[in-house]
């Protein structure tokens, strides 16, 4: 049988990775918008805003990789299912 606790943990981690990826997309769009707004007004871009953009870009790379790792674990869990033999 399948380890239900492990399955639920993996599903929760997959949902978290997906939500964090979406959050990173939103944060990146917001940072780009703020940078574009400052650039249009010929204002300097604060270092904190550059860091926000870099963090969002880093998260955009990290969370898909993390999701892939979790999917591999989930597939392995499914492969380990042992069905009872009925004669």
Q: Which of 12, 17, 29 is nearest to 69 (CA)?
A: 17
| Burial class of residue 82 in the structure, from the number of CB atoms within 10 Å of its CB (0-12 exposed, 13-18 middle, 19+ buried) | exposed
Please report the pLDDT score of residue 1 as a whole number.
66
> Contact 15/25 with Cβ under 8 angstroms?
no
Assigned token pair, 55: 């963090």
Q: Cβ–Cβ contacts within 10 Å for residue 32, how many? A: 15
What is the structure's pLDDT at 80?
85
Examine the pLDDT at 2 and tell me if it is beyond 90. Answer: no
pTM for the predicted model, two decimal places: 0.82
**Token pair in block for residue 13:** 């981690």
Q: Give residue 17's Cα distance to chain centre.
A: 3
Q: What is the mean pLDDT of residues 47-70?
A: 96
Token code pair at residue 6: 């492990």
């Amino acid at each position: 049988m399948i380890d239900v606790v492990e399955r639920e943990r993996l599903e929760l981690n997959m949902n978290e990775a997906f939500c964090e990826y979406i959050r990173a997309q939103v944060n990146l769009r917001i940072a780009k918008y703020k940078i574009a707004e400052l650039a249009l007004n010929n204002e300097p871009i604060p270092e904190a805003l550059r860091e926000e953009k870099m963090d969002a870009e880093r998260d955009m790379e990290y969370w898909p990789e993390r999701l892939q790792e979790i999917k591999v674990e989930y597939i392995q869990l499914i492969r380990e299912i042992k069905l009872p033999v009925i004669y």
